[in-house]
Amino acid sequence: MRFQNSVLFFFLLFILSVNAQQMEEYAHPWEGKLENSKTFHFTVTIENLGFEDATFKISNDHSIINYPFKKANITQINIPFAENLFFEGTIAPNGKEINGFIKSGLLLYHLKLTKRKNNSFVGIWNVLMVDELKSQKFFLSIENGSDNDYQAYPIFGDNRFTGTWCTNFQKENNKITFNDFKTGLQFKGTLLTNEIQLEIFLGNHLITQVNLIKSTTDWKIGGFSTNNKKSKLSLVEMENLISKDSLPNTHSVLISRNGKLIYENYFDGYDANVPHDMRSSSKSISSAIVGIAQDQSLFKSVEQSIFDFLPAKYQIQKDRIKEKINIQSLLTMSSGLDAIDYGINANPKSPAVEDNYQMANDWTAAVLSAPMINNPNTKANYGSANPYLLGIAMDSLISEPLELFMDQNLFQKLAISNYIIQTDLNGDPYFGGGMYLTPKDMLKFGELYLNKGKWNSKRIISEKWIESSFKNYRVLENTKDKNGYGYLWWHNIYQSNGKSIESIEARGAGGQYIFVVPSLKTVVIITSGNYRNGKTQQPETIFETYILPYLEN
């Protein structure tokens, strides 16, 4: 009896100690190491397609998901392989590949699965955007710990992955859970004395486990060298400044002239295979999708009101001024809505500012409820709510998922397969920005516009749409340089050897630029990581100071 009482005593003591764990005890930086640099490099396989034993598989160095399914549609596939995760795709007419997307979190990861034997198709999914981590270090910052409350932020030692957006922090006894709503990864931790055992899941399927201890030194993240090509061109000074961090966080520079790649270099560990966060420079891709839709007569005119495309529940927002918001006004940032969200000129109280409407449960209702500050098609003010509404309009026109339309009508035709689309809360492509393309694929897109809608001599977008897109409609009132603006394309003028050179540009926060220079028959790509240091326009300096003189000589 005494022995039983002792056992019971120590058991209760253990339970009390577990329940007594308070999150302030764990509010520290933690670190560990992933076992494998390719842990998040997944092989995706569809086996025995068309047969009763068809299976959808995801694996790395071990099997993660093995999901049996039946395909009902002859050409389209939809596989809900885990909770809140699915694959959708279309089989090519020749039956040799499947192009589709894995929807995980806020991202649509494009996959091209190629046919192998036994009617099986195989492709690659890099959930962290890179095929192999350059650092296996893993960090966890637990913050604001109090009782059972906390926030936790996983950080990978390889900063080419753009980071997690974690939420839904829960604690029960010595267990913590949270998820990254960007990638869809799930995290489950066990709190031990001076240690956290953290498991990472895809749905309910374990990917890996990492043991974390308290950090005693500052974290080292990134700083990877690249075996960049030493240029024989007159761009050596630019390369030296990038290597010395005088042109900080420059990730890639590519130049094509007359359709030929004449310069290509990568820095900070980046390479040709890493899709880069384009931020708002993908707004110009959104413009292309609108053009393709009009070319296919899916809508009549850019003069149509946005309310022609919206469900009945939003018609209550229509009044005599707002009903004049048309497709063209959204393409030119001239809706008149108080949607300004560029830099210090943003209105922090407007429901249509990006940081505000993205916190709402219904983004469309939030944007449309914003007050009007101008009549439509009179003055331009940069704001992501304008192209967001374009995405809603395009989605209303297309019977298939919008991402499949984009893939079939633009990306496949440009031979682009390694890319990612960010979505809105409904899981639809977000036209306000946030796609991930490799710099070489960004170059292809720029050349499509330089060649007036043709790629490899094949028409993809009408020449009329390209001309309309590149027209300078009006000045962006809320920008420092008062740039001209087209259909989601910026205008700028540079000086070189006493001459003015006009460039038409896709631009994204942090320094993501596609320069299209018709007078020089040139496209330039610069990608960067200057998100918080005030150097987001650094590519303009690089372009004017180093690239234009080379092109002029």
Q: Are 250 and 528 in contact (CB under 8 A)?
A: yes
Which conformational region is residue 249 in: left (phi greater than 0), alpha (psi within -120 to 50 degrees), or beta? left
The percent of residues above 70 in pLDDT, for the chain, comes to 95
Tokens 């339309």 correspond to: 405
Q: Model confidence over 369-389: pLDDT tens digits? A: 999 999 999 999 999 999 999
How many other CB atoms are found less than 10 A from the CB of residue 497? 9
pLDDT single digits (tens) 97-114: 999 999 999 999 999 999
* Tens-digit pLDDT profile for residues 157-199: 999 999 999 999 999 999 999 999 999 999 999 999 999 999 9
On the CB side of 476, CA atoms within 13 Å amount to: 27
CA 480 → CA 300, 476, 537, distances in Å? Answer: 35, 9, 11
Cβ contacts of 424 within 8 Å, gap of 6 or more = 363, 388, 391, 430
Domain extents for the chain?
22-37+132-214, 41-126, 276-488
- Over range 37-65, report the average pLDDT: 96
What does the pLDDT average to over 57-68? 97
Q: Are 339 and 353 in contact (CB under 8 A)?
A: yes
Strand partners, 200: 187, 208
CA–CA gap between residue 22 and residue 225 (Å, rounded): 41
The Cα–Cα gap between 272 and 438 comes to 6
Q: Residue 49 contacts by C-beta under 8 Å, 6 or more apart in sequence?
A: 71, 77, 119, 120, 121
pLDDT of 165: 97
Q: Are strands 185-192 and 175-180 parallel, antiparallel or unpaired?
A: antiparallel
**What is the rounded distance in angstroms from the CA atom of residue 180 to the CA atom of residue 418?**
22
The CATH architecture assigned to 276-488 reads 3-Layer(aba) Sandwich (3.40)
In this structure, the strands spanning 121-126 and 107-115 are antiparallel
pLDDT, one tens digit per residue, over 311-355 is 999 999 999 999 999 999 999 999 999 999 876 678 888 999 998
State residue 9's pLDDT score: 47
- Residue 276, both tokens: 């880069």
Mean pLDDT of all residues belonging to the chain: 94
Of 107-111, 228-232, 369-373, 493-497, least confident by mean pLDDT is 228-232
496 close to 540: Cβ distance less than 8 angstroms: no
- CA 58-62-66 angle, to 5 degrees, is 40
The model's confidence at residue 249, banded by pLDDT at 50, 70 and 90, is: very high
Residue 18 has pLDDT above 70, yes or no: no
How many angstroms separate the CA atoms of 448 and 237, rounded?
30
pLDDT of residue 228 exceeding 90: no
**pTM, rounded to two decimals:** 0.95
